[in-house]
């Protein structure tokens, strides 16, 4: 057995089989179970080390060759695989509780396997092709056959596909730059190509206009899953570039450009988010602001910057899955999700509204919630590099906090004589409770992640030094 | 010398097909032009690829067109007069295409200087298609036209990329992306067109 077959081919094929054979309900359980098993396997069974179980010797080899190119998942990738499949399991189990999420688990499983292929493929710049394929598979999840595709979906496809040529071509140019680092023109051209590619992939300002539209016109659960999956793998991909090319990580102008992009994203998303009157759009702007934080984090060159990046990514998975589940439950009552429709729903869906607010506050960096430790560490690092940058990030997050307070005010604005009800199912309540509890634990006991976080930076041998 | 002449003829085909896709409203004509465009792209790619590998691009492209064509053929209700009428927008689009061609003609020698050995017709053909694809994407939100725009842009990129990268895996994956775009385009064309009821409607 080889690692790429276990973590790429197996979920890909199983996703296909689930899609064909299982109904909606059981597909969520099957997808969730497989993801959980893959996460546990990554966490406890070492890659490329022989294990003796009784008389059976078990060894997961790290590489497999396809058409002269290899797919590699090494020992250092194991914590990342555990994180990805663990959070995926949370998403897939939650899909059943979220209600009407079309073909979510099987397609989600296939998407995660393709995205895992993007971190395993060598040469690593071919990852852009896997990201493009994952984009195409995401569309049936977003647009069921009875619904016309909207502007957000079309822009999502166009921007993600646009990124691929830029990344592929810049990869070829970067090899030339590495061979001849003194050539400033080709360095500038390669840098420009790469920036364009990542600007489309991350949806850097102003290219993020499709994200709020997507949350408005499609299933919030499916769209939020994509807002977790794509930026997570894109960050890993971007860190791979920084790790491999010395000149990229040592050029201060590139760090400054990444930092500026991150600040602009966080500040603008916070500003626009504060004025939204739609629950889905508030989630979209919070997710954009957090992507900005990730960019600000990767621009840092401190010892701990990789830990900050992974701390944000872990919290983001829990925040988005809990928030999206809560919105999906509320959507069953108030389909449009506008503030005028959801007014006073806290008394009808107390658990969903509570979880939504916890997730929203966590994204804003509220103390003692999952998002707080990473934001505190980021502020600390940023303030020593650029106090102005730290201030702008603070302003952006303040905007997200304002939108959380506005959502809270709207959701609790019920008539005085309205009775408290409990309309969530047991499964929904359990999943919301797990997500909320996870956020509180991540906020109160971030050190619990330390053993896990210690292993993750090893993925990038040069950046981790 | 002979192959050079044929390559320039292919560039002319690329120009004609890209301009037709942009300006002509009839979807049948647009798909026909796309087929011609793939043939020209095949020739330009074959300047750097073996014939068997460059034919993958042609076959994948034509298969994509077949998928889109069959889907659209069953949607006769969508055919309106607007599909065949020329408007003021047509002239604007033709001017845009002219700008793309001029830009490509200007940039071609510069790129040939920067990356020698690619060949002028290859660069020119690739740039025209990338430009035409981007212009197409900026002008419309119609699903079929967006798909055609993406395919045009991608085939332009593939022509240029073939000159610098000849890995079989990349060729195969790019063919998959093209086919995937065709299937995705037909799925989106069908979405909302088939009179299915949503789960919300079923509950009512």
- Backbone φ and ψ of A71, nearest 5°: -110, 125
Residue B200 lies in a domain: no
Start-to-end CA distance of chain A, whole Å, equals 32
Burial of B63 from C-beta contacts in 10 A (0-12 / 13-18 / 19+) = middle
Q: CA-to-CA distance for A5 and B98, rounded, in angstroms?
A: 50
**Is B177–A68 a contact, with Cβ atoms under 8 angstroms apart?**
no
Handedness of CA A418, A419, A420, A422 (dihedral sign): negative
**Is B192–A154 a contact, with Cβ atoms under 8 angstroms apart?**
no
Residue B197 lies in a domain: no
Domain locations along chain A: 1-122, 158-459
Contact B166, B150 (CB under 8 A): no
* Interior/surface letters A29-61, b for 16+ CB within 10 angstroms, e for the rest: bbbbebbbebbebbbeeebeeeeeeeeeeeebe
Residue position matching structure tokens 């663990």: A86
**Is A129–B174 a contact, with Cβ atoms under 8 angstroms apart?**
yes
Q: CA-to-CA distance for A31 and A108, rounded, in angstroms?
A: 8
A343: which 2 tokens? 């007014």
A197: which 2 tokens? 């590619």
CB-based contacts of A110, cutoff 8 Å, min separation 6: A11, A12, A15, A16, A19, A137
Contact A78, A423 (CB under 8 A): no
A75: which 2 tokens? 């020992």
Residue B143 lies in a domain: yes
| pLDDT per position as a tens digit, A252-293 | 888 999 999 999 999 999 999 999 999 999 999 999 999 999
Q: Give residue B197's pLDDT.
A: 55
Q: Give residue B198's pLDDT.
A: 54
Residue B32 lies in a domain: yes
CB-based contacts of A165, cutoff 8 Å, min separation 6: A197, B130, B153, B154, B157, B161
Q: Does A175 touch chain B (CB under 8 A)?
A: no
* Domains in chain B, number: 1
**Is B187–A140 a contact, with Cβ atoms under 8 angstroms apart?**
yes
Which of A8, A110, A165, A200 is best to mutate for the B interface (most B CBs within 10 A)?
A165
**Is A143–B176 a contact, with Cβ atoms under 8 angstroms apart?**
no
Closest CA to A165 of B125, B175, B157, B163: B157
Q: Which of A100, A137, A149 sits opposite B191 (nearest CB)?
A: A149
Task: Tell me the residue range of the domain where B20 lies.
Answer: 2-191
pLDDT cut 90: percent of chain A above it:
58
- What's the average model confidence in pLDDT over A103-132? 90
| pLDDT per position as a tens digit, A413-423 | 988 888 888 88
Q: Which of A66, A69, A145 sits opposite B190 (nearest CB)?
A: A145
Q: Does B24 touch chain A (CB under 8 A)?
A: no
- What's the average model confidence in pLDDT over A363-378? 93
What's the order of all strands across the beta sheet hosting A121-122? A63-66, A69-72, A121-122
List the single residue in B with minimal CA-CA distance to A144.
Answer: B191
How far is the alpha carbon of A332 from chain B, nearest alpha carbon, in Å? 9
Contact B169, B142 (CB under 8 A): no
Is A240's pLDDT higher than 80? yes
Q: Give residue A228's pLDDT.
A: 94
Closest CA to A360 of A264, A430, A279: A279
Q: Give residue A250's pLDDT.
A: 83
Q: Which residues of B touch A165 (CB under 8 A)?
A: 130, 153-154, 157, 161
Q: Give residue A433's pLDDT.
A: 95
**Is A139–B187 a contact, with Cβ atoms under 8 angstroms apart?**
yes
B71: which 2 tokens? 């889907």
**Is A172–B174 a contact, with Cβ atoms under 8 angstroms apart?**
no
Which of B173, B183, B195 is best to mutate for the A interface (most A CBs within 10 A)?
B173
The per-residue pLDDT of chain A, averaged, comes to 90
Closest CA to A28 of A314, A221, A217, A218: A221
Handedness of CA A294, A359, A279, A404 (dihedral sign): negative
Q: Does B110 touch chain A (CB under 8 A)?
A: no
Q: CA-to-CA distance for A330 and A99, rounded, in angstroms?
A: 11
Q: CA-to-CA distance for A324 and A135, rounded, in angstroms?
A: 20
Residue A123, preceding peptide bond in cis (omega within 30° of 0): yes
How far is the alpha carbon of B85 from chain A, nearest alpha carbon, in Å? 25
Q: CA-to-CA distance for A235 and A313, rounded, in angstroms?
A: 9
Q: Which of A67, A145, A161 sits opposite B191 (nearest CB)?
A: A145
Contact A32, A105 (CB under 8 A): yes
Residues 183-242 of A with CB under 8 A from B: 185-186, 189
Segments of chain B scoring below 70 in pLDDT: 1, 77-88, 194-204
Residue B78 lies in a domain: yes
| pLDDT per position as a tens digit, A135-186 | 999 999 998 888 888 899 999 999 999 999 999 988 888 877 877 777 778 8
- Backbone φ and ψ of B122, nearest 5°: -65, -45
Closest CA to A114 of A138, A93, A80: A138
Residue B196 lies in a domain: no
Among A37-51, A352-366, B86-100, where is mean pLDDT lowest? B86-100
CB-based contacts of A73, cutoff 8 Å, min separation 6: A3, A4, A7, A8, A47, A62, A63, A81, A116, A119, A120
Residue B117 lies in a domain: yes
| pLDDT per position as a tens digit, A411-457 | 999 888 888 888 888 989 999 999 999 999 999 988 888 877 788 88
- What's the average model confidence in pLDDT over A308-316? 92
A318: which 2 tokens? 């829990």
Closest CA to B154 of B182, B133, B172, B139: B133
Residue B203 lies in a domain: no
């Amino acid at each position: 057995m080889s690692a790429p077959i276990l973590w790429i081919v197996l979920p890909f094929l199983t996703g296909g089989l689930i899609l064909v054979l299982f109904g909606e309900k059981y597909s969520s359980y099957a997808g969730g179970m497989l993801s959980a098993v893959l996460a546990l396997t990554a966490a406890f069974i070492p890659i490329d080390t022989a294990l003796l179980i009784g008389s059976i010797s078990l060894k997961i080899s790290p590489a497999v060759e396809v058409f002269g190119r290899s797919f590699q998942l090494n020992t250092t990738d194991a914590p990342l695989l555990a994180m990805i499949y663990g959070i995926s399991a949370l998403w897939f189990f939650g899909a059943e509780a979220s209600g009407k999420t079309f073909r979510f688990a099987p397609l989600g499983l296939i998407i995660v396997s393709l995205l895992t292929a993007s971190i395993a493929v060598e040469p690593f710049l071919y990852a852009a092709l896997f990201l493009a394929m994952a984009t195409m598979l995401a569309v049936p999840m977003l647009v069921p056959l009875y619904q016309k595709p909207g502007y957000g979906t079309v822009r999502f496809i166009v921007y993600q596909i646009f990124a691929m040529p830029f990344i592929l071509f810049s990869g070829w140019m970067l090899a030339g730059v590495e061979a001849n680092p003194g050539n400033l023109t080709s360095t500038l051209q390669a840098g420009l190509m790469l920036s364009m590619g990542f600007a489309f992939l991350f949806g850097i300002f102003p290219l993020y206009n499709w994200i709020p539209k997507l949350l408005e016109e499609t299933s919030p659960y499916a769209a939020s899953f994509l807002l977790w999956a794509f930026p997570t793998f894109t960050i890993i991909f971007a860190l791979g570039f920084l790790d491999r090319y010395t000149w990229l990580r040592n050029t201060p102008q590139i760090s400054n450009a990444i930092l500026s992009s991150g600040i602009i994203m966080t500040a603008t998303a916070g500003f626009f988010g504060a004025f939204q009157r739609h629950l889905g759009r508030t989630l979209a702007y919070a997710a954009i602001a957090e992507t900005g934080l990730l960019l600000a984090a990767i621009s840092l060159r401190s010892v701990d910057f990789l830990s900050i990046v992974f701390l944000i990514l872990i919290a983001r998975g829990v925040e988005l899955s809990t928030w999206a589940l809560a919105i999906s439950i509320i959507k069953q009552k108030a389909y449009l999700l506008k503030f005028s429709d959801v007014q006073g729903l806290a008394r009808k869906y107390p658990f969903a509204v509570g979880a939504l607010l916890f997730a929203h506050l966590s994204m804003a960096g509220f103390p003692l919630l999952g998002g707080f430790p990473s934001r505190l560490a980021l502020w600390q690092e940023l303030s020593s590099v650029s106090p102005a940058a730290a201030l702008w990030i603070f302003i952006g997050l303040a905007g997200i906090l304002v939108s959380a307070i506005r959502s809270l005010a709207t959701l609790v604005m019920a008539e005085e004589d309205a009775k408290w009800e409990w309309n969530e199912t047991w499964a929904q309540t359990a999943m919301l409770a797990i997500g909320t509890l996870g956020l509180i634990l991540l906020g109160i006991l971030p050190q619990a992640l330390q053993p896990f976080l210690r292993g993750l930076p090893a993925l990038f041998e040069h950046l981790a030094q | 010398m002979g192959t050079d002449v044929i390559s320039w003829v292919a560039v002319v085909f690329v120009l004609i097909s890209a301009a037709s896709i942009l300006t002509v409203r009839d979807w049948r004509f647009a798909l026909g032009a796309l087929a011609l465009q793939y043939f020209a792209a095949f020739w330009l790619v074959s300047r750097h690829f073996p014939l068997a590998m460059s034919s993958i691009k042609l076959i994948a492209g034509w298969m994509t067109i077949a998928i889109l064509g069959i889907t659209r053929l069953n949607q006769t209700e969508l055919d309106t007069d607007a599909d065949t009428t020329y408007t003021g927008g047509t002239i604007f689009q033709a001017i845009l295409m002219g700008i793309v061609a001029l830009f490509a003609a200007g940039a071609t020698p510069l790129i040939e200087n920067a990356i020698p050995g690619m060949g002028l017709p290859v660069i020119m053909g690739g740039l025209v298609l990338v430009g035409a694809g981007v212009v197409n994407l900026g002008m419309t939100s119609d699903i079929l036209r967006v798909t055609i725009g993406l395919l045009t842009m991608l085939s332009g990129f593939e022509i240029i990329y073939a000159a610098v990268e000849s890995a079989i895996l990349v060729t195969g994956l790019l063919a998959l992306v093209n086919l995937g775009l065709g299937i995705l385009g037909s799925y989106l064309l069908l979405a909302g067109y088939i009179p299915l009821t949503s789960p919300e409607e079923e509950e009512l």
